[in-house]
Structure 1
Amino acid sequence: MWRRTGFDGSVGAARAAAGLFLLAGVLAVLGIAQPHSRTRDLLVVAVADFGIAAAAWWVPWQRLHPRATVALAVAGLAVLAFSTWAFGGTASGTGPFFVLLFAWVGLHHPPWIAYALAPLTATAYVVPLVATHQPPEVVGSAVVFVPVVTAVAVLIAGRVRQWRDARAEVAAAERWRASLMLTLAHDVRSPLTAVQGALELLDEDADLPPERRARLTAAALRQVARIARLASGLLDVGRVEDGVLRLDLRAVPVRAAAHDAVSLTPQADAVIDVDPGLTVTADPDRLEQMLVNLIGNAVRHGAAPICVSAAAADGSALSITVRDHGRGVPEASVGSLFSRYGGDGSAHSVGLGLWIVRELARAHGGDLTYEPADPGARFVITLPQQGPAQGKAAQPNG
Structure 2
Amino acid sequence: MLGTGPRAAARQFGVLIVVAGLLALVGISNDPTHISRLLLVAACDFSLGLIALLLPWRRLGRYGPAVLGLTGFAVLGLSTWSFGGVAAGTGPFLVLIYAWAALHFPRWILAAYAIPATLAYLVPLVLTGQHPLVLGSAFVLMPIALAVAFLIEAQARHLRDDRERLSRIEQWRAAMINTLAHDVRAPLATVRLVFEELQETATGPHVKMIGAGMRQAARIARLADGLLDLSRIDSAGHLKLDRADHPAHALVKDALSYVHEDADVRAEVDESLTVHVDKQRFEQILLNLITNALRYGRPPVIVKFTRDTTGDRLEVRDHGPGIPDELRPRLFGQFAVGGEQGVGLGLWIVRQLAVAHGGHAAAEARDPGVAMVITFPPPPGQP
- SS of the aligned residue for 1:325 comes to coil
CA gap 1:372/1:139 in 2 versus in 1, 3 angstroms: farther
CA gap 1:379/1:196 in 2 versus in 1, 3 angstroms: same
Deviation of 1:202 after TM superposition, in Å, equals: 6.8
CA distance in 2, matches of 1:272, 1:362: 24
| 8 Å CA contact retained: 1:198, 1:220 | no
CA gap 1:264/1:161 in 2 versus in 1, 3 angstroms: same
* Partner AA of 2:304 in structure 1: S
* Partner AA of 2:378 in structure 1: Q
Q: Which residue of 2 aligns with 1:100?
A: none
- SS of the aligned residue for 1:281 comes to strand
Q: Which residue of 2 aligns with 1:308?
A: 303
Q: What is the count of residue pairs matched by the alignment?
A: 247
Tell me the TM-score normalized by structure 1.
Answer: 0.49
Deviation per residue, 1:144-169 (Å, 9 max, x gap): 43344223223322332343344456
**Aligned residue among 120, 144, 147 for 1:146:** 144
Deviation of 1:280 after TM superposition, in Å, equals: 1.6
CA distance in 1, matches of 2:179, 2:302: 30
- SS of the aligned residue for 2:358 comes to coil
Tell me the TM-score normalized by structure 2.
Answer: 0.51
**Aligned residue among 276, 281, 284 for 2:276:** 281
CA distance in 1, matches of 2:169, 2:375: 32
Alignment of 1:357-372 (within 5 A): 357-372=350-365
CA distance in 1, matches of 2:364, 2:352: 18
Deviation of 1:384 after TM superposition, in Å, equals: 0.2
- SS of the aligned residue for 1:370 comes to strand
Deviation per residue, 1:199-246 (Å, 9 max, x gap): 66976x7xx35xx56535533432332233223222322343435643
| 8 Å CA contact retained: 2:311, 2:376 | yes
Q: Which residue of 1 aligns with 2:312?
A: 318
- SS of the aligned residue for 1:386 comes to coil
CA distance in 1, matches of 2:209, 2:266: 27
**Counting helix residues as a fraction of each chain, which structure ranks higher?**
2
Deviation of 1:282 after TM superposition, in Å, equals: 0.9
Deviation per residue, 1:63-102 (Å, 9 max, x gap): xxxxxxxxxxxxxxxxxxxxxxxxxxxxxxxxxxxxxxxx
Alignment of 1:1-398 (within 5 A): 135-139=133-137, 141-168=139-166, 170-171=168-169, 208=203, 212=205, 214-241=207-234, 242=236, 245-266=239-260, 268-314=263-309, 316-340=310-334, 342-343=336-337, 353-386=346-379
CA gap 1:151/1:334 in 2 versus in 1, 3 angstroms: farther
Deviation of 1:372 after TM superposition, in Å, equals: 4.0
* Partner AA of 2:240 in structure 1: R
CA gap 1:327/1:146 in 2 versus in 1, 3 angstroms: farther
Q: Which runs of 5+ in 2 are unaligned?
A: 1-101, 103-131
Q: Which residue of 1 aligns with 2:72?
A: none
CA distance in 2, matches of 1:275, 1:173: 45
CA distance in 2, matches of 1:303, 1:244: 34
* Partner AA of 2:157 in structure 1: R
Structure scoring higher RCO (CA < 8 A, sep ≥ 6) equals 1
| 8 Å CA contact retained: 1:282, 1:387 | no
CA distance in 1, matches of 2:304, 2:331: 21
Q: For the aligned residues, what is the CA RMSD?
A: 4.5
Deviation of 1:320 after TM superposition, in Å, equals: 1.0
